[in-house]
Amino acid sequence: MLNTIVLIRTDNFDKALTALSDLVRYGGMKIRGKPRIIPPALSDWAFEQIVGEKPRKKVRAHVVAQVDLPASKAIGRIRDIHPPAHIVVIPVGTHVHKEILRLWGTFKELKGFHPPKEIKRPGEELEE
């Protein structure tokens, strides 16, 4: 099964790690595998393809991760939690998703990410 990809664009890798933790802790998402660092040019291209405009802000940290939710659910949850980074959801089946997966093995792993304990979202039961 293919996973939705999230592209995290922010000022530094500490903020990227915090954003990933927020996705797990407050967004109820599971990160599949290890998040990866991608080249800025690929990040800008993916952003432009998905969002439909060039990124206005230059950022230093470009990270991709695979999450266990469909794109529409992931987008809704990200809107609710306001992580400290710009996060673009890349749906399964798009040419951007295919290209990032094709290159996945060439990206360096993001060091220092350890999924936090999940916090129960309002109105949801915590899975054991």
Select from 34, 3, 28, 1 the least CA-distant residue to 16.
34
The pLDDT value recorded for residue 118 is 61
In tens, the pLDDT along 44-98 reads 999 999 999 999 999 999 999 999 999 999 999 999 998 889 999 999 999 999 9
Unique residue bearing structure tokens 């990040």: 43
Tokens standing for 111?
A: 């060091």
Instruction: Quote the pLDDT of residue 54.
Output: 95
Torsion from C-alpha of 91, 97, 98, 102, nearest 10 degrees: -140
Distance, in Å, from the CA atom of 50 to the CA atom of 98, rounded to the nearest integer, reads 13
Model pTM?
0.89
CATH number of 4-109: 3.30.70
- Residue pLDDT, tens place only, 16-56: 999 999 999 999 999 999 999 999 999 999 999 999 999 99
